Amino acid sequence: MQILLAPFTVLPFHLARSLHSLGNSYRRLGRHEEALVNYERAISLSEPLARDQSRIYKKDLAVTLYILSHKHYELNHCNDALESAQQSLDIYRELALTQPLVFHGDVVEGLELVRDCLSMLSRQAEVDEINSEIARLRAGDENTSSRSSSLHAVIESEGRGSGEVESDEAGENNEVDSSYGSDVEREQEDEGRGEGMRASDGDEEVEDGGGNANSGERSDEEMQ
């Protein structure tokens, strides 16, 4: 039964990611309304999965909600921006309960986005409360700043090339993974070593060829 159900779970998950990516493409082109529609469609598919399935679905949903809120914020859709930002923050708070080191920074960034939305709505008392919470979280974790760049990185990388001015991205991501550069360097080093080995093999073959020629001459002399 689980094997039969798997495709029905995987299909909405990948479709949601495809819609998210399509939203990013429209966003880069400045086609904001189409971007919003695709983000919202991705969210409608992700929400049932996030309720019933593993952490990865919750994280994907939180990211899409965050980006949707950011886009609403850019378009001065104050209430819509706040609603999506709060939903994203709620998910990150839940994830941080079991993995605080992984999601601590995302909670801080989620709070910052909620704060900005509240500020746009002139709800200063709530802004002050959130600023106090952000300060407490940062005081309790000196490494927050180094770990809390994931969401800003996503926004920056997914908007790259669009000509838009972003608040900060990306991964990914994304968003370039720092490991990518080191992998490329290792590949180049390996290729360099391979070329050096091939060159040395070629030299040895030349030397062997010369040696064989000399031995051939000696054999002729002996026969004579």
Is the pTM higher than 0.85? The answer reads: no
Residue 56 confidence class, pLDDT cut points 50, 70, 90: confident
Residue 163 confidence class, pLDDT cut points 50, 70, 90: very low
CA distance 191 to 205: 21
Q: Choose among 129, 1, 156, 4: nearest CA to 67.
A: 156
8 A C-beta contact, residue 137 and residue 108: yes
Q: What is the pLDDT of residue 160?
A: 52
Helices (H), ranges, the chain? 2-28, 32-52, 55-74, 78-98, 100-120, 124-139, 144-147, 150-158, 178-223
**Tens of pLDDT along 81-129?**
999 999 999 999 999 999 999 999 999 999 999 999 999 999 999 999 9
In one-letter notation, the amino acid at residue 40 is: E
Choose the most confident range, by mean pLDDT, from 1-15, 27-41, 165-179.
27-41
Q: Choose among 79, 77, 66, 89: nearest CA to 33.
A: 77
Q: What is the pLDDT of residue 51?
A: 83
8 A C-beta contact, residue 10 and residue 22: no
CA distance 46 to 53: 10
Q: What is the pLDDT of residue 55?
A: 80
SS3 166: coil
In one-letter notation, the amino acid at residue 137 is: L
Q: Mean pLDDT over residues 19-34, rounded?
A: 94
Query: What percent of the chain lies above the pLDDT cut of 70?
Result: 58
Residue 30 confidence class, pLDDT cut points 50, 70, 90: very high
Q: Which residues of 55-74 are buried (b: 16+ CB within 10 A; e: fewer)?
A: eebbbbbbbbbbbbbbbbbb
Q: What's the chain's average pLDDT?
A: 73
Count of beta carbons in the 10 Å neighbourhood of residue 202: 10
CA distance 43 to 113: 18
Q: What is the pLDDT of residue 170?
A: 36
Query: What percent of the chain lies above the pLDDT cut of 90?
Result: 48
Residue 31 confidence class, pLDDT cut points 50, 70, 90: very high
